[in-house]
Structure 1
Amino acid sequence: MLFAVAIYSTRISEGEGVIEDYFLASRGFPSYIVAVMLAGIAVGGASTIGVAESAFRAGISAGMYNAAWGAGAIVVGFTAAARLRELTVTTIPEIFGNYYDDAGRIIAVIGQVIIQVVITSLQYVAGGAILSALLPELFTVTSGTIFTAVVLGLVALIGGYWGAGLTNLVNVIVIYFGVTIGAIMSIRDFGGFTELMAELPGGTPWFDPVAGVGMAMVIAWFVVMITQSHSVQGVVQIAFAARDESSARRGFLLGGLIILPVGFICALFGIVAAIQFPGLEDPATALPRVVMQLSPAVAGFTLAGLWASSISTTVGLLLGTSTLVVSDIWENYIQRDISQRREELISKIVVVLITILTLLLAITIEGILDALLLGLTLTTAYTVVVLFTLFAPSLCKKRAAFWTIGTGILFLLSWFVFPAIRIVPHPIFLAWPIALVTFLTVSFVDDTPASIPENLKK
């Protein structure tokens, strides 16, 4: 069905050029496609498999991860979505290149590619875990990861951004129906919540909405998700592709509401797994293993929904990363005068190469949520620059983007290399003050204002 939808989507193109058609769906997304595209990006492997993995240890509070994602989308809907669409740009680094300088654009591309490659890789890991549980005689986690990458890469290659939007309409329906039915049936098999709670091991606040993962981590999730929703290319590209400003705003608000509940549903699978598989060596397989105890029809549909979650996230991210490479690097620094046919060829080659790169990384990743949260911390610097650009342009100076993002990258590298600087429970608590101080310092010492258009200064 997904391949059929992807092929159909190629007929919707309005012929406005490869970047506009293939990477931005001719800027024609209505609000409901914006919403399901956003939900598809959010409700991926981390939001399903990763949440269940965390809930296996910490209980229902793992679902706050998705609540944070939904909150981030809603905040963008109320604040920046319409203004982002108004810019009529293609990428976040394009904003930095147009308004700040080339150095800011280049370093912005590097950081964005790093962020999206990490997120994309995690979706393959989740897809591999699902397939290895669903068909263990055919797939290991590794071979399932490879198969997931191949299928998702082909969907992106064939359908482009319209394909991503339309397939996510299918995916989101399948995801919600599948995981809801699966959760209900898995709890029913225990005789209801009362029996489930009686079987749970002591020592863990299984149904406390915060205590399991801890207040500090919940706050970190909300800060990270609200931050990244303003500046990750795969997310803001959805706003760029909206039909108009109101479609972008309504789509982000609706998408946030769709995202909010799914984490708590998936956390239930992790709690059930804590009873059924107390010695589970790989908690990333907790959710699919629980599902496989259900009737074949329910298990098949639920696991199809979970695998759809990996597809829904990855297709948009692959195209977002490829947009960065083609629009910000190839067409600016390698081949400015490029024919439409060659541009299309380069775009699809880049999709294939990004798929291969993310697959190689996926095979080495452990701990879905931990890896994702660390990668998303880097978005803080981007969000600071974007928010100042949109809402305080008088403070924006020419070198602010380069130094803010560069400092953010150096800080995150230092977090990994020098454990002594880890004085807070999560790097996001230092990333924000560092980014703000850097931006405002450059604003004070740099005499050259950024080239902010007059319409943004109103």
Structure 2
Amino acid sequence: MNVTLLIVIVYIMLLYGLAWYSTKLKSGEEIVEEFFLADRGFPAYIVAAMLTGLAVGGASTIGVAESAYTQGISAGMYNAAWAVGAIVVGFTAASRLRDLTVTTIPELFGNYYDEAGRVIAVIGQIIIQIVITSLQYIAGGAILASLLPELFSVNMGALLTAIVLGGVALIGGYWGAGLTNLINVIVIYIGVIIGAIMSISKAGGISNIVANLPVGLQWFDPVAGVGIGIIIAWFIVMITQTHSTQAVVQISFAAKDGQTAKRGFILGGLIILPIGFICALFGIVAAVQFPGLEDPAMALPKVILNLPAIISGLTLAGLWASSISTTVGLLLGSSTLVVNDIWKNYIQTDITQKQEHIMSRIVVVVITALTFLLAITVEGILDTLLIGLTLTTAYTVVVLFTIFAPKLCKKSAAFWTIGTGIIFLFVWVFVPAIRIVSHPIFLAWPIAIGTFLLVSMLDKTPANIPNEVVESEST
């Protein structure tokens, strides 16, 4: 049997086995909270594994190697930005977010601000997460198609990716996601480290690689290739989105307590930090071994295919694990938004725990199918839609004011801040004349803060923020 295929089969069996085992960890009392938040019982190491699994996806592996093929080691700063974002949240907001005891960001907005804020928050969050989920299917499909071309096209690989991650989420819920991500992170690191070491050795070692790299670029400079402006934008975007993207914040909601959330986010950031630079090495090796690639996205697969079968199989499992690990968290985050903030509030307000549990599983299946269809039908516009991550700026501004300056929060602040952010991004995409900076994030922050403070001055109705939050901020 094909060694690479055997590794993939064993890996899938391991993931499903862990998802099944996770069902034995449930108390059976609050079944819906268990499905979406693991009964708020994650220890710090599972928090770290969930966060790392979410961060290290196709963009952090294949995408980084693609950039490194032409821009050098500085492409790894993408993951460094993710890591810093996680660590900043750990030191600033993770424990406070956990102490709020809510399930979603829109729920927080609905409870503290108004229903209009909740509705617009749900719309934006779902769009962001569904787009990113679809991108992971594409990445997973590309990995399988590159390394097992006799068995998979990109679409067939994306389908298998969707089936595996949908099954893990459906069977194990958030506990299943946590345990499988723990294994995913281990597989990712084993695969890419062994693959990087072997690829460097096969290319004649670092000294030979340096001697044969194309001239004109500082290949091992951490900034020069990508450029300081883009790197600053990466850091701002990542620090922003880690404070308010549902899939990220939901991890802190699932921690045992505030201190566990804090430790888990800091540990997760430290684990995330090196993976981008390791993957960037694949791109640099490819620049020596395969100069002139028409599609730089093939840099990493080309290098891996040049390795012995067992090594390429391990590396494949690691890379595919990156797509699986990211998508399970995103899928459950999107399902949480649909069930908690749409179905329970506007469709079936008298839903029972048993009905909600059934609906949670149905929504997982539906979103898995929808995101797969998006991945195979509208791939051409996904790069444009990725700019939607900048929308998290508006969410982050509202969240930070809520937990650090609640006295400035007014009832309509969430609606207007997020609404203005959506309008700004729409104009940025369709009216190029306003692009006076290199990345929309540089305008998104002042617009969001300005909108929030303007509403704070004009709206005379305070937000409905609990006294304990206000007192905590005062303390």
TM (norm. structure 1) is 0.97
**2:277 is the counterpart of 1:264:** yes
CA distance in 2, matches of 1:137, 1:281: 22
Q: Secondary structure at the match of 2:25?
A: coil
**2:121 is the counterpart of 1:108:** yes
When residues 121 and 270 of structure 1 are mapped into structure 2, their CA distance, relative to the original with a 3 A threshold, is: same
CA distance in 2, matches of 1:159, 1:285: 34
CA distance in 1, matches of 2:161, 2:298: 15
- Where does residue 167 of structure 2 map in the other structure? 154
Task: Give the letter for the 1:324 counterpart.
Answer: L
**2:382 is the counterpart of 1:382:** no
Q: Which range moved further: 314-323 or 42-51?
A: 42-51
- Where does residue 9 of structure 2 map in the other structure? none
Q: Which residues of 2 match residues 51-62 of structure 1 at below 5 A?
A: 51-62=64-75
1:343 positional shift: 1.3
CA distance in 2, matches of 1:55, 1:171: 24
Q: Secondary structure at the match of 1:195?
A: helix
**2:236 is the counterpart of 1:223:** yes
**2:379 is the counterpart of 1:365:** yes
**2:419 is the counterpart of 1:402:** no
Query: Where has structure 1 moved over 4 Å in runs of 4 or more?
Result: 370-373
Task: Give the letter for the 2:26 counterpart.
Answer: S
CA distance in 2, matches of 1:76, 1:294: 39
CA distance in 2, matches of 1:184, 1:228: 33
- Where does residue 201 of structure 2 map in the other structure? 188
- Where does residue 334 of structure 1 map in the other structure? 347
1:339 positional shift: 2.3
1:94 positional shift: 0.5
- Root-mean-square deviation (CA, aligned residues, Å) is 1.3
Q: Which range moved further: 93-102 or 9-18?
A: 9-18
CA distance in 2, matches of 1:256, 1:371: 27
**2:338 is the counterpart of 1:325:** yes
1:349 positional shift: 1.4
CA distance in 2, matches of 1:171, 1:113: 25
- Where does residue 366 of structure 2 map in the other structure? 353
Q: Is the 8 A contact 2:412 2:455 kept in 1?
A: yes
**For 1:35, which of 48, 58, 68 is the aligned residue?**
48
**For 1:242, which of 234, 245, 255 is the aligned residue?**
255
1:361 positional shift: 2.3
**2:286 is the counterpart of 1:273:** yes
Q: Is the 8 A contact 1:22 1:162 kept in 2?
A: yes
CA distance in 2, matches of 1:205, 1:114: 38
**For 2:305, which of 273, 292, 296 is the aligned residue?**
292
When residues 65 and 118 of structure 1 are mapped into structure 2, their CA distance, relative to the original with a 3 A threshold, is: same
Equivalent residue pairs, number? 457
Q: Is the 8 A contact 1:397 1:442 kept in 2?
A: yes
When residues 374 and 144 of structure 1 are mapped into structure 2, their CA distance, relative to the original with a 3 A threshold, is: same
CA distance in 2, matches of 1:49, 1:62: 11
1:372 positional shift: 7.5
- Where does residue 24 of structure 2 map in the other structure? 11
- Where does residue 182 of structure 2 map in the other structure? 169
CA distance in 2, matches of 1:177, 1:423: 43
CA distance in 1, matches of 2:106, 2:18: 31
1:373 positional shift: 5.3
Q: Which range moved further: 152-161 or 92-101?
A: 152-161
When residues 227 and 241 of structure 1 are mapped into structure 2, their CA distance, relative to the original with a 3 A threshold, is: same
1:281 positional shift: 3.0
- Where does residue 211 of structure 1 map in the other structure? 224
Q: Secondary structure at the match of 1:206?
A: coil
- Unpaired segments of 5 or more residues in structure 2? 1-13
CA distance in 1, matches of 2:400, 2:27: 32
**2:282 is the counterpart of 1:305:** no
Q: Which range moved further: 341-350 or 323-332?
A: 341-350
CA distance in 1, matches of 2:443, 2:29: 43
Q: Secondary structure at the match of 1:24?
A: helix
- Where does residue 2 of structure 1 map in the other structure? 15
When residues 55 and 151 of structure 1 are mapped into structure 2, their CA distance, relative to the original with a 3 A threshold, is: same
CA distance in 1, matches of 2:424, 2:450: 13
Task: Give the letter for the 2:247 counterpart.
Answer: G
- Where does residue 131 of structure 2 map in the other structure? 118
1:230 positional shift: 0.4
Task: Give the letter for the 1:326 counterpart.
Answer: V
- Unpaired segments of 5 or more residues in structure 1? none
Task: Give the letter for the 1:263 counterpart.
Answer: G
**For 1:84, which of 93, 97, 111 is the aligned residue?**
97
1:208 positional shift: 1.3
1:371 positional shift: 5.2
**For 2:440, which of 424, 427, 432 is the aligned residue?**
427
**Percent of pairs identical after alignment?**
72
When residues 48 and 220 of structure 1 are mapped into structure 2, their CA distance, relative to the original with a 3 A threshold, is: same
Q: Secondary structure at the match of 1:16?
A: coil
Q: Is the 8 A contact 2:32 2:353 kept in 1?
A: no
Q: Secondary structure at the match of 1:155?
A: helix
1:59 positional shift: 1.1
Task: Give the letter for the 2:179 counterpart.
Answer: L
When residues 371 and 74 of structure 1 are mapped into structure 2, their CA distance, relative to the original with a 3 A threshold, is: farther
CA distance in 2, matches of 1:19, 1:415: 39
